[in-house]
Structure 1
Amino acid sequence: MKTLLGKSYPFFIFFFLLLVFFIADVSYGSVYIPLDEVFNILLKKNTEKKSWEIIVWQFRLPKATTALLAGAGLSVSGLLMQTLFRNPLADAYILGVSSGASLGVALLILAGVGFASFAGQWAIAVSAVVGAASIMALVLFIATQVRQLVSLLIIGLMLGNGVGALIVILQSFSNKEELQRFANWTYGSLGGVDWEKMLILAPLVLVGLFSSIFLYKPLNSLLLGDNYALSMGLNIHKIRIQVILLTSLITGCITAFCGIIGFVGIAVPHICRYLLDTSEHKRLLPACAFLGAILMLACDMLCQLPYSPHVLPINAITALVGVPVVVWVILRRR
């Protein structure tokens, strides 16, 4: 019993911090709302101003929920990729899925192709989903043809570079307004998801997160090498496909609705390994989900300048947090 409580103790702390940062993110913004009024709004009690209810329910609560889902999803995806490739600097975007989402958005915004004519506010999200799904299907097909993970890694990087080249070509034929709109999407934003879009984002990300938990035993075996995994009777090819599929699903969905958010998938798994002092995926997977969500909520608050309508790009804040962690990892492994 004492051992069980000892192992569960960090997760009680993570859960408490998650609640604190979630409430803080909902409370913090350009419009000051007292904390007691925030609780009244969340509990659907009478409040001093009706406008505060609109701000909390229609803007801040969806944004904080998006931050929670994006942080958890990208962190778990990063852990899956680092384990699959046995590479400490791998992350969720290494297979080019985010590049596919970027190409879909680029075709819509820069070339005027896509779903803008009938999708309305869903145009960018739908185009990003189609682009990410296309690259995901291509990567899955390639994964069935190659046996070496290094080959798959190189092909994923080449796909990302090739798609990036196509985007640069599209940008060279675009006007300033189109370039600015596309650039705004690439910076990443958590504020573009309303409750209608949340009905798609939340189930897909949650399905991916819960499904990854059932892979903890194969992931532990992969850490010890392919030969060990084979000796344990695991179908390495099947596990590889499942990991790629889950990572692509989570990453593609988050990128479609939030844009590209870097460094979270690299940094959080290393922080969790350091804090828990373990490589056991049964503990690392939920720890990455908790800590990734906490980190993204904190970054979302840092994006919001106090008492100002201006919001900094989320990608810039996550980079400032993630870069020191990546440098630390490299120095530790020298």
Structure 2
Amino acid sequence: MAHKIYPLKNRSPILSPAIHHRVFPKRVILPSIKHLTLLTLALLLTFLISLALGSVSIPPSEVLTVLLGGTATKPAWQEIILNFRLPRALTAMAAGSALGISGLQLQALFRNPLAGPSVLGINAGASLGAALVVLTGGGAGVLGQLSVVGAASGGAAIAMILVLLMARQVRSSLALLIFGLMLGYITNAIVIILLHFSRLEQTLAYLSWTFGSFNGVTWQQMPILLSVVCIGLVIAQLSCKPLNLLLLGEEQAMSLGLSVTVVRCYLIFSASLLAGSITAFCGPIAFLGLAVPHLGRSLFRTQDHRLLVPVVVLLGAILALAANSIAQMPGSQTVLPLNAVLALLGAPVLIWLMLKQGKQPG
């Protein structure tokens, strides 16, 4: 017997009790407050550690004093915390949350565990924009850094517009996935050609940008980055029910009253906004968008996006802060490539979780 559906104004359907329980099980929500509280405490601890560790070690008590509006014992500590480590830590939290949510949305949309922010060519578009500035000698100085951010944002926006136009023309998510991959290949090919004709110092400058870094965002740029990320996260929170319905498959979701085309467009907009803004400000940060959603599902054993969205936000921020602290090499002047640290830190944990889950019956 067919289930009755009563569509709301926002196109999010109210399902019959049987289907509603299958898509939105109540038992997942009950323990979530405890889990989210633990993750929040872990995030606060990681945030404090990231401010204390670095080439100069600062006692955690001094960090707390500065954060609460006091004055550190040494003026240099105050300067390091407020003008270097605090904006870097906030940038890492924003990047981890944004890329994690972007990956979560795209994996649900394409029903593909390998989908990530780079799958739609958004990162490649941002990289092309940055390459056009850096490889033509326009990336030097403060004005040059702003030019790189603006060009990367423009490249990501153009890629996003192309993908959105394609999403309105095709019904198949597989075709859209292939289009995004081809767009990425095209833009990467153009970048390679530009690298071939560039001078050595320009090539090195661009390669340095591709390593990824949370160091480049200033206090003046921070409101722009955080505002864009917050908009994307709000859209993600509002899209939990459509994301859960998409887990049933596009045809099943459409039969339950979901407008897949509309949902696809605003999910792509949100994922592109999050991934594009982070790539513009921090470079093409790899691994987070792919791994963090898997970590959330493995740790909490749920597919319910009402729990996964806040979990991924917190896990992404924690992982990004941890990778940033390791990259700064506490007690040393050396800074490791961020993307390398992220892969070395997260991949073994993810492999272990997948092996552990694979050994469990059922």
Normalised-by-shorter TM-score class: over 0.9
TM-score (norm 1): 0.94
Structure 2 counterpart of 1:44: 69
Q: Which residue identity lines up with residue 194 of structure 2 in the other structure?
A: L
2: CA distance, partners of 1:174 / 1:325: 39
Structure 2 counterpart of 1:229: 253
Q: Say whether 1:177 aligns with 2:191.
A: no
Identity rate, percent? 45
Q: Say whether 1:88 aligns with 2:143.
A: no
Residues 228-259 of structure 1, C-alpha deviations (whole Å, 9 max, x = no match): 21122111000000100000000000000000
Structure 2 counterpart of 1:35: 60
Out of 171, 177, 191, which is 1:167 matched to?
191
Structure 1 counterpart of 2:271: 247
Residue pair 1:89, 1:326 contacting (<8 A) in 2 also = no
SS at match of 2:339: helix
Q: Say whether 1:78 aligns with 2:103.
A: yes
Cα distance 1:72–1:180, how it changes in 2: closer, same or farther (>3 A)?
same
TM-score (norm 2): 0.87
Write out aligned runs for 1:109-124 (5 A). 109-112=134-137, 119-124=143-148
Structure 1 counterpart of 2:313: 289
Q: Say whether 1:19 aligns with 2:57.
A: no
Cα distance 1:38–1:271, how it changes in 2: closer, same or farther (>3 A)?
same
Q: Which residue identity lines up with residue 258 of structure 2 in the other structure?
A: L
Greater mean deviation of Cα atoms: 137-146 or 39-48: 39-48
Residues 210-234 of structure 1, C-alpha deviations (whole Å, 9 max, x = no match): 1111111111000001122112211
Report the Cα offset of residue 320 of structure 1. 1.5
2: CA distance, partners of 1:290 / 1:5: 18
Greater mean deviation of Cα atoms: 302-311 or 186-195: 302-311
Out of 95, 100, 108, which is 2:133 matched to?
108
Structure 2 counterpart of 1:140: 164
Out of 6, 9, 12, which is 2:34 matched to?
9
Residue pair 1:266, 1:322 contacting (<8 A) in 2 also = no
Cα distance 1:333–1:81, how it changes in 2: closer, same or farther (>3 A)?
farther
Structure 2 counterpart of 1:272: 296
Report the Cα offset of residue 83 of structure 1. 0.2
1: CA distance, partners of 2:358 / 2:92: 31
1: CA distance, partners of 2:147 / 2:353: 39
Residue pair 2:99, 2:289 contacting (<8 A) in 1 also = yes
Residues 283-319 of structure 1, C-alpha deviations (whole Å, 9 max, x = no match): 0011000011001111111101122122111111111
Residue pair 1:208, 1:246 contacting (<8 A) in 2 also = yes
Report the Cα offset of residue 81 of structure 1. 0.6
Write out aligned runs for 1:316-327 (5 A). 316-324=340-348
SS at match of 2:119: coil
2: CA distance, partners of 1:168 / 1:4: 48
Cα distance 1:141–1:5, how it changes in 2: closer, same or farther (>3 A)?
closer
2: CA distance, partners of 1:220 / 1:19: 29
2: CA distance, partners of 1:15 / 1:207: 21
- Pairwise CA RMSD of aligned residues? 2.2
Q: Which residue identity lines up with residue 342 of structure 2 in the other structure?
A: T
Report the Cα offset of residue 324 of structure 1. 3.5
- Whichever of the two has the greater Rg, that structure is 2
Structure 1 counterpart of 2:283: 259
Report the Cα offset of residue 37 of structure 1. 1.2
Out of 42, 45, 65, which is 2:90 matched to?
65
Q: Which residue identity lines up with residue 33 of structure 2 in the other structure?
A: S
Residue pair 1:80, 1:247 contacting (<8 A) in 2 also = yes
Residues 131-175 of structure 1, C-alpha deviations (whole Å, 9 max, x = no match): 111111111111111111111111110110111110000000111
Residue pair 1:108, 1:116 contacting (<8 A) in 2 also = no
1: CA distance, partners of 2:137 / 2:28: 59
Q: Which residue identity lines up with residue 278 of structure 2 in the other structure?
A: I
